[in-house]
Structure 1
Amino acid sequence: MKRSWIALSLLVGALLTGPHLYLKAQPAAPSEKKIRIALFAPLYLDSAFDKNNVDRFGAKQFPKFIVPGLEFYEGALLALDSLNKEGAAIDLVVFDNKSSTQSITQQLSSPACNELDLILTYCAATELKYFAAAGKEKKIPVVNINLPNDGGVTQNPYLVLLNSTLPSQCQSIYNYIRTRFPKQQLVVFQKKGMLEARIRTYIEEAAKKRGGTPPAIKFVELSDSFTVQQLVPWIDTVKSTLCWVGSVEENFGKRISQQLVSLAKQRYKVTVMGMPTWDGIREFSKPEYRGADLLYCTPFYSPRTDSVSMAIETFFNNQLYARPSDLVLRGYEALWRFSKLVQRYGKESSLHLGSKSFSLFREMDIQPVMTAGNPPLIQYYENKRLYFLKWQDGFLKAAN
């Protein structure tokens, strides 16, 4: 955690002198317009430090809830440095969207947010509407890097979700199963819950959209105290079964995966598919999860073999004594990609949000989500590109 304290100490020292941190660019060339970006991250500075800039937790108790926002900020800062070295004129204004002294609405209406060209956010679903509304009013792109849902935002052609929404996740997983495992029987195991009911609806809709003659899908609802014997009737020692864990709850996913793997070791033929929330489960490398393939998908996969990823890794290893997380790459990618878009298209950048240009660590497929009306209207933009991975004998591999 040493590097987190270093970065946070530098950030808090700046932010506590005012309501935001302003990182000023080098002077713009006469023919080049300066770009102004606002970055909103959940830094929880008021929780971590008192008014005298003294941390509340001590050097050995770094609060984990601060880490995601800090890593997003670190990645964006590295991208800003790279762009400035290229000669780009970019001003970055950083806000703590968990501030106890200013609401998000107050932050967005402050003078620091005048004449913005781009807003980058890591936020809660309940907060997204404020950023989306600001982007729509200012007619500038608003890019969210974390949410897998639209937060209730509608008819906003300026909002971009880099995470895929739940309906898109279910559609992609279903299409993948139909393509890669066309002959396997499909069983969806779920726990009882409102979100699981929605996932079932999305899977059924995915089957209809796919067309053709879809294989029968068996939905099995399990109680919280389910046993391995309750799984046995739904799988086979002769025919292969694709077991889709239709829940985003990690503990449910880990428990059922472990039990299905134990059955696979008893010669039951199973392949297990999970939801994108499995991307953070490192326990799948342990021996008790070895014996069956455990698959899932994520929009944020990167093999980290490109020159930029390797340079970031080297910087973190040498300067911060750590390995950069996925959120560092997301922060770098979002600021770099969409700054380039604004540089090229200026005030018309919102008309090119689906551009395939400026890919960095991975390809994205940013598409408009349309209303059902006539004429259809853009609800928002969403990245629909998902990468499939699998845990096999303790190792994580690409499975596209």
Structure 2
Amino acid sequence: MRLLFVAVVLLLGFRQSASAQENIPVQSGIKKPVLTVLIPLYLDSAFDASGQYRYGKQFPRFMLPGLEFYEGVQFAIDSLKKENVSLELNIVDTRSVKTIYDVLKLPAVTDASLLLSYVSNNEIRPLAEYANRKQVPFINVNLPNDGGVTNNPYMVILNSTLATHCEGMYRFLQLKNRTSTIIVFRKTGPQEDRLKNYFTEIEKSTSGAQLKLKYVNLPSNFTAANLTPYLDSTETTMCVAGSLDESFGRNICMQLAELNKTYPVQILGMPTWDNIRDFEKPEFKDLEIFYSTPFNPQRNDPVSEQVNTHFKDNLYARPSDMVFRGFETTYRFSKLLVELGPNIATGLGIKKYRIFTDFDIQPVLLDKKTQQLDYFENKKLYIVKKVNGAVVTVF
């Protein structure tokens, strides 16, 4: 019921806003830049023609990420208004029309100076092509992939790609275990081969000492007995989970947590582990679990406390990561847009207007030989350690 209450409050808040458009006062005669936020809100699915909520006492979870991101956008709008920032900000429900191509015809999009988008996989390429054609920056705030887009200096990926995560993990291991053998437990599969290839390419170009990586293929029904031969009772063994499969990650951590009593061990996992709540359970007690994330997970600063208090007092809930992401991305890129105006595309990497995350937006050249700029990407990664539910940033 709490989830339903929060969701309906957010939905009603959006429906009652001023036509999903926010205008901050500006001096007469000065044209305001336009930032348009694209979010899948599914409003037409949630309400019938008379404005009645369709789902009764139920709430479809697929609607929640977009609504949470929208709530974060509202926090940013409140902050921008308090600062009297000259900006027109539009919010478009991308599920209010049939296709993404219909979205691209909307005035809120065609008039935009910058597009901030919570996207699905099949929307990346159309949005990127539109942005490149119109020379308007397109910020992908949620998906960690490029959608096959190349030669596009107007696309920015904030949720770092797997290749970037592997680079960050490798650097972390160089600092922590530069001489010891690191055991990479993996299963067979094309995804796992891609991960291994990333590490191999990083090894070829690293400026530091190469890591001693030992790859171990595990059977599908592996047990602790399959792991023990690679562990040492006299010193801590650093392991890496070489698969994005969350079930594989849970299983290997559960086995290692039991072995940790005899064989001291640490494990570095994948960015997908940020979604695994099971690691707080007793089965994983005392196991030091590390993983990478491009968004600052710490929520102990004054602004975070204000957001937490708002949710606790008004929605009787805790804000998700998407709330914070909606807040910080809308605020940061709004401020940059107002400051840089038509030069915004060349200044997206300027390190200003930070709220939570230290974004490091860098050009990506997929083919080093041609030196072609394919897109921009956030290269900042945080390495998190989680033990018994406590989360600490260590790198």
TM-score of the superposed pair, with normalisation by structure 2 = 0.93
The SS at the match of 2:122 is coil
Cα drift, residue 318 of structure 1: 1.9
Q: For 2:37, which of 30, 39, 54 is the aligned residue?
A: 39
The answer to whether the 8 A contact 1:289-1:394 is kept is no
CA distance in 1, matches of 2:17, 2:359: 34
Gaps of 5+ in 1: 16-20
User: Pick from 210, 226, 231: which aligns with 2:227?
Assistant: 231
What is the CA distance between 1:347 and its match in structure 2? 0.6
Aligned equivalents of 2:359, 2:248: Cα separation in 1: 30
Once the two structures are superposed, the pairs formed by residues 193-232 of structure 1 within 5 Å of their partners are 193-232=189-228
1:71 counterpart = 2:56:
no
Give the 3-state SS of the residue equivalent to 1:24 in structure 2: strand
Alignment of 1:105-254 (within 5 A): 105-254=101-250
1:253-292 aligned at under 5 Å gives the runs: 253-265=249-261, 267-292=262-287
Deviations 1:80-137 (A, max 9, x none): 12102211232222222234x4311111112232321111111122211111122222
Give yes or no for contact 1:13–1:53 (8 Å, CA) kept in 2. no
Corresponding residue of 2:376: 381
Distance change >3 Å, CA 207–CA 89, structure 1 → 2? same
Provide the rounded CA distance (Å) in 2 between the counterparts of 1:148 and 1:79: 23
Counterpart code for 1:297: S
Per-residue CA shift, 1:210-231, capped at 9, x if unaligned?
2455243121222332222111
Are residues 243 and 374 of structure 1, via their aligned partners in 2, closer, same or farther at CA, if it must alter by over 3 Å?
closer
Is residue 366–residue 384 contact of structure 1 (8 Å, CA) maintained in 2?
yes
4+ runs of 1 displaced by more than 6 Å? none
Unaligned 5+ residue runs, structure 2?
none
Alignment deviations for residues 65-92 of structure 1 (CA, whole Å, 9 cap, x no partner): 1110111111012101210221123222
CA contact (8 A) 1:140 1:347 kept: no
Query: Percent of aligned pairs with the same residue?
Result: 40
Is the CA contact 1:145–1:162 (under 8 Å) kept in the aligned structure 2? yes
Is the 8 Å Cα contact of residues 143 and 334 (structure 1) preserved in structure 2?
A: no
Deviation at 1:184, TM superposition (A): 2.8
Residue 40 of structure 2 contacts residue 93 of structure 2 at CA under 8 Å; is this kept in 1?
Answer: yes
Matched residue, 1:18 = none
Alignment TM-score, normalising by the size of structure 1? 0.92
> What is the letter of the counterpart of residue 60 of structure 2?
P
Q: 1:55 aligns with which of 38, 50, 53?
A: 53
Give the conservation status (yes or no) of the 8 Å contact 1:38–1:94. yes
Change (3 A) 1:283 1:320: same
1:121–1:145 Cα contact (<8 Å) kept: yes
Alignment of 1:6-17 (within 5 A): 6-12=9-15
Deviations 1:19-55 (A, max 9, x none): xx43130331147531212211122334433344333
Matched residues in 1 for 2:149 and 2:35: separation? 22
Question: Where does 1:289-304 land on structure 2 (aligned, <5 Å)?
Answer: 289-304=284-299
| Cα shift at 1:12 | 4.5
Provide closer, same or farther for how the CA distance between residues 55 and 185 of structure 1 changes in structure 2, counting only shifts above 3 A.
same
Which stretch shifts more, 323-332 or 286-295?
286-295
